[in-house]
Amino acid sequence: MECIRRSVAILLASAVGAQAVAQFNGGGFDGGNNPFGGSGSGSGSGSGSSGSSSNGFGFGTSQGRPDFDIEAAMRARAIHGILGALAMVVFFPLGSIFMRVLPGRWALWVHALEQIVSYSVYIAAVGLGLYLVNEVQLPGGGGNLMTNPNTSYHPIIGIVVLVFLFLQPFLGIIHHAKFKKTQRRQIWSYLHIFNGRVFITLGIANGGLGLWMAGESKKLKTAYIAVAAVMWGLWMLSALWGEWRRWRLARGPPRKPSYVDVPF
């Protein structure tokens, strides 16, 4: 049971919903010195003192009641973080790994379906993030999450990642059509490969920035970094294995090439 609890805590650690993690672990969190996480400490119990915050949005009792539904915002924030972490840390890397390790046409179809699921989950995460940008007004005239310079980097990076990953299926389809004709990589192949690697990596890093913005504990940040590092490392190892396989096939005896046994 302890192992299961820790595993769930790691997934929740990736969420921007700091209070959800604190309540799950039965402990508190330090809001940190930013307008999103609060300036001071919170107990996760819903009570606060002047200048402190236990809701994770910077509102202590001295600021009064915020003009938005803070409980709904906290639920949206927790789900936003979990979905974003699942998409970036788990689903997207797995989709690329499957392309390298599964046999034949299974690799292509599983890769395509997995990445469609990954992007759909990420769209849901971004949608909740935009809801928070529109809904949450930071205390002290701090504006919203997009206009405040201490928080704007996280939603901006998230939107940039969404836009560039939207190109992935189109680049992949063009690559597939060209590769079937020429049996060679072309510019579309490299655009598909490196667009995915760059912006999925950026999305993983943005999840860590979200944890920092939420004022998460060092323990939870470390858990997120550890899981992300393992998945990213496995992803890169599978990419290196795929390149080695291509090199080995190219040096082997001449034979009729096939898309299904030459991974891109």
pLDDT in tens, 43-63: 333 333 333 444 556 655 445
Helix, coil or strand: residue 40: strand
- The counts of H helices and E strands in the chain are 9, 2
Task: For domain 70-252, say whether CATH 1.20.120.1770 is its number.
Answer: yes
Q: What is the pLDDT of residues 56-92, one digit of tens each?
A: 566 554 455 667 778 888 889 889 989 999 999 999 9
In single-letter form, the type of residue at position 48 comes to: G
Place of tokens 């790994």: 97
Report residue 261 as tokens: 């046994």
- CB-based contact 123:97 (threshold 8 Å): no
**Mean per-residue pLDDT pooled into runs of 10, the chain (264 residues):** 43 40 34 44 37 52 64 87 94 92 82 94 96 84 83 94 96 86 82 94 94 79 93 93 72 54 46
Burial readout 48-84 (b: 16 or more C-beta within 10 A, e: otherwise): beeebbbbbbbbbeebeebeeebeebbebbbbbbbbb
The per-residue DSSP string of 221-237 comes to HHHHHHHHHHHHHHHHH
